Structure 1
């Protein structure tokens, strides 16, 4: 990389959310490769007022410190200031690379597709979450440089333990971890009734999903700290599924799986858990390419699919998941995508 790589940090109001965790991990990677923070130092104040003024101060400082030839990496969405920062960088002779964490026109639908594409066009190069999102951006009018991340990295001090082979007669354990709420994972209420051929291990806020009950094959656990989960969580597979249906991923969150690479998938893989993902999701091609899990059309497919996996196939998936976990831990996916972006810009 011949040009100076730069970035703009901001105030983090906690690192428990997947979005903040992913962005913070990318900043760690940027610092590792020698990138320069053009804004104010990273802060962690919980106050909304403090966050607003600190982020504004960072944008103002960047406008005075960016230089000709710089490549500025922005983590999209950048609240309120994305177009301004891009224009300021261009005015100083710098280029902008934006890595997409979320698309407002897809997830929360607060933007029209056309408006989001116009906004993203302020960047010289965009790193989409995955190849499926990359194709979607291209088909919807994005014409600048375009690449794909595939998986968000997941940094943790915890070592990913190699999961010992289990007795072939042992019941497989499927893990679902995350914040529970009626708008996102109501499907768990029905899944708990039909789970057959496996045990379902749910980690999260049980009171967030009224009606969720433990049973013979459904075990409820409190939130486990991420580092502890990576090192110790019991389980054999991590489930990525959202919505209120057992036959398809539905609702805003479920439909969004068609296009994004959820941080939950990286979290499972970082813990060495092969994935169970919806066949229509953007993750499906990634899981198949990396050999780190199985694809299902509906929740009812889980039991039969797991029972058909041979010990050798399971061992191969576990080894592949462990290999991917090591890459996630070092920021390898972001490093590769950023190198491609910089090479294209140069």
Structure 2
């Protein structure tokens, strides 16, 4: 079961030498070729591996499940309130991985959750609220916002750099977190999960963070309510391990 491929994610990292990158590639591909069956996150990573002459049988997971305790689930299903137009960003908030959060648009409200956030007290903005970091199994009850954002890299104009481009191949953990938390998703239009989000009416795509305000203005209350209702179904699926169970049965 493939969670991450470092040979894709770290290939453009400048702090790694050529030999380090080569070693990662050799080790990963040797391991994959020795497997009898591969569960890939999505069709884009599967096609990448097929193009690298990985001939092992493969099947796509689609999205990662997100198991939580019965206690957290009970709290989650109680009545929740959402902050109007606030955008949730959860995960590693370091400048190495998520430099874009230090240049967020001033015309939107953001709720940040995660580790390695650097607060600049000399340049604090009223539209950004840092909520600290929590354990992964606590977050579904704690996250509070109208949408969850899936974006990576240094730029607010597009997802670039090693981590940004990696969205074209991986299934971000935060996508499952947002859906389990009953929060619809805003995602980069070139991300591997973009089609899954749009086809299941779980959110919308953007090419740049500057697109968000326009998309929100164009979004009707009915469309948003449909997205919220759809997160209820997918939250239940992910909490029950639906996708991994399905693919194991198929195998």
Equivalents in 2 of 1:126, 1:262: separation in Å?
A: 18
2:97 equivalent to 1:195: no
Question: Residues 225 and 105 from structure 1, CA distance in 2 versus in 1: closer, same or farther, beyond 3 angstroms?
Answer: closer
Whether the 8 Å contact between 1:162 and 1:272 is mirrored in structure 2 is no
Equivalents in 1 of 2:41, 2:101: separation in Å?
A: 26
Residue 244 of structure 1, CA deviation? 0.6
Equivalents in 2 of 1:277, 1:154: separation in Å?
A: 19
2:157 equivalent to 1:247: yes
Q: How does 1:65-214 map to 2 (within 5 A)?
A: 99-109=1-11, 110-111=21-22, 113=25, 116-157=28-69, 158-159=72-73, 160-161=76-77, 171-191=84-104, 194-196=105-107, 198-205=108-115, 208-209=117-118, 211=120, 214=124
2:231 equivalent to 1:321: yes
Q: Which runs of 4+ in 1 moved over 4 A?
A: 111-115, 162-166
Q: For each residue in 1:158-181, what CA deviation from the matched residue of structure 2 results, as whole angstroms up to 9, or x when unmatched?
A: 223377687xxx741100012221
Count how many residue pairs are aligned between Structure 1 and Structure 2: 236
Structure number, greater radius of gyration: 1
Q: Which residue of 2 aligns with 1:94?
A: none
Equivalents in 1 of 2:90, 2:142: separation in Å?
A: 14
Q: Which residue of 2 aligns with 1:257?
A: 167
Whether the 8 Å contact between 1:117 and 1:141 is mirrored in structure 2 is no
Q: Which residue of 2 aligns with 1:273?
A: 183
Q: Which residue of 2 aligns with 1:285?
A: 195
Q: Counterpart of 1:249 in 2: which secondary structure?
A: coil
Question: Residues 113 and 204 from structure 1, CA distance in 2 versus in 1: closer, same or farther, beyond 3 angstroms?
Answer: closer
Considering only aligned residues, what root-mean-square deviation do their CA atoms show, in Å? Answer: 2.2
What stretches of structure 2 of length at least 5 have no aligned partner? 12-20
- Choose 212-221 or 244-253, whichever is displaced more: 212-221
TM-score normalised by L of structure 2: 0.86
Whether the 8 Å contact between 1:163 and 1:272 is mirrored in structure 2 is no
Q: Counterpart of 2:9 in 1: which secondary structure?
A: coil
Equivalents in 2 of 1:181, 1:165: separation in Å?
A: 29
Residue 233 of structure 1, CA deviation? 2.3
Whether the 8 Å contact between 2:81 and 2:144 is mirrored in structure 1 is no
Match of residue 248, structure 2, among 329, 338, 345 = 338
Equivalents in 1 of 2:79, 2:166: separation in Å?
A: 31
Q: Which residue of 1 aligns with 2:131?
A: 221
Residue 126 of structure 1, CA deviation? 0.6
Question: Residues 238 and 190 from structure 1, CA distance in 2 versus in 1: closer, same or farther, beyond 3 angstroms?
Answer: same
Equivalents in 2 of 1:214, 1:287: separation in Å?
A: 33
What stretches of structure 1 of length at least 5 have no aligned partner? 1-98, 342-346
Q: Which residue of 2 aligns with 1:85?
A: none
Q: Counterpart of 1:276 in 2: which secondary structure?
A: strand
Residue 214 of structure 1, CA deviation? 4.0
